[in-house]
Amino acid sequence: MFLTSILFFSLQAQAPLAATVPDTALARHVATVSSYTPHRVYKSGKKRFEDFESMLADVAKSDVVFLGEEHDDPGTHRLERAAVEGIGRRRPNVVLAMEMFERDAQPKLDDYLAGKISEEDFLKTSRPWPRYATDYRPMVEFAKAKGWPVIAGNVPRKWASLVGRKGLAGLDSLGAPERTQVAQALSCPRDKYYARFKETMGDMSGHGQKITPQEAAAMVDRFYEAQCVKDETMGEAIAAARAKYPDAIVIHVNGSFHSDFAMGTAERAKNRLPGARISVVSFVPAVDLDTADGKKIRKQGDYVVFTLKPPTPPKPAAPAAPATPAAPPAASAPVAPAAAVKPPTTD
């Protein structure tokens, strides 16, 4: 959409005056979409706020940078695209790795980046996330234009689902070709990461299942093992990218739980890359940027980037209660037929 806006204005500049009236939809877009993404950057090590470019100059010195997001925050996605561009200005060789594509989609992703297939064919076979067009396409297209590799880092969801149902033992049923889609080395310790995961999952009582506490605990453990499989697979993909492109910086985009506190995927990558400098950036939507307190959550990442949380859409108004019928007039007066009460529309 950004490129469309630029194209529109460039064409209008060359068109005769009579043709400068834009179409209504594009005019609304230009008038309402801000060119600025509100944010504040907190540098955890210094316990102070800094500017975005200073952050990029620092993390660009790393071997691996994690961009941890909340998937449904539009401000985060715009800043991720800016971060990819800013790091690319400072490093000639970049590898973009993403949780949002699964390992078995790599051949199609490579074909698209090489111009061998159309974007339509690529998307038909790569199982992109629902908001790919707005959230992740800008980064992929930027990488494509720069000639950078893009890594489909995640485990295929069918194998993560298998572990969620049967535990790590479920992977024993995979044939050799399928097993290559999962990290070869798997570790799933009951550590601080497990404690965070368990706390986030809760007791499972809100999932509509009548299960015993023991069954609930076993279910959480299986889900945690599926989480570990994702982390190990993405960590392995990052290490493989570093081995293949030793002069490149790897930018990994993922949900923040996978990298906050340098746990999850960040820890799995570090285990495979001894001595590598790894930086974690955690994007956090906030209702009020002026009162955002980075000190309280500074341990989440080397940098915490606060974005302006979109306003919550108002809830639809409840239908008005039917009017209470008026008391009938005295018997001596003629009674007019009651008018039908039409319920309010919710359209």
Confidence band of 27 (pLDDT split at 50, 70, 90)? low
Confidence band of 316 (pLDDT split at 50, 70, 90)? confident
- The DSSP secondary-structure symbol of 185 reads S
Confidence band of 325 (pLDDT split at 50, 70, 90)? low
pLDDT of residue 3: 39
Task: Look at residues 93, 97, 102, 105 and name the one whose alpha carbon lies nearest to residue 139.
Answer: 97
Q: What is the pLDDT of residues 267-296, one digit of tens each?
A: 999 999 999 999 999 999 999 999 999 999
Q: What is the pLDDT of residues 59-74, one digit of tens each?
A: 999 999 999 999 999 9
335 pLDDT higher than 60: no
pTM, 2 dp: 0.81
What percentage of the chain reaches a pLDDT higher than 70? 79
Confidence band of 343 (pLDDT split at 50, 70, 90)? very low
Domains in the chain: ranges and CATH: 38-308 (3.40.50.11550)
String of DSSP letters for 190-248: -SHHHHHHHHHHTTSGGGS----HHHHHHHHHHHHHHHHHHHHHHHHHHHHHHHHSTTS
Contacts of 167 (CB under 8 A, 6+ apart): 221, 222, 225
138 pLDDT higher than 70: yes
Q: What is the pLDDT of residues 76-97, one digit of tens each?
A: 999 999 999 999 999 999 999 9
Q: What is the pLDDT of residues 165-183, one digit of tens each?
A: 999 999 999 999 999 999 9
- Helix extents (H) in 245-338: 265-272
pLDDT of residue 311: 83
User: Tokens 């001595």, residue?
Assistant: 275
CA distance 52 to 278: 18
**What is the average pLDDT value for the chain, to the nearest integer?**
86
Q: Are 76 and 70 in contact (CB under 8 A)?
A: yes
pLDDT of residue 314: 75
9 pLDDT higher than 70: no
- Average pLDDT score over residue span 117-130: 97
- Long-range contacts from 164-169, C-beta under 8 angstroms, 24+ separation: 164/222, 164/223, 164/225, 164/226, 165/222, 166/222, 167/221, 167/222, 167/225, 168/225, 168/229
Q: Which helix (H) or strand (E) holds 305?
A: strand 303-308
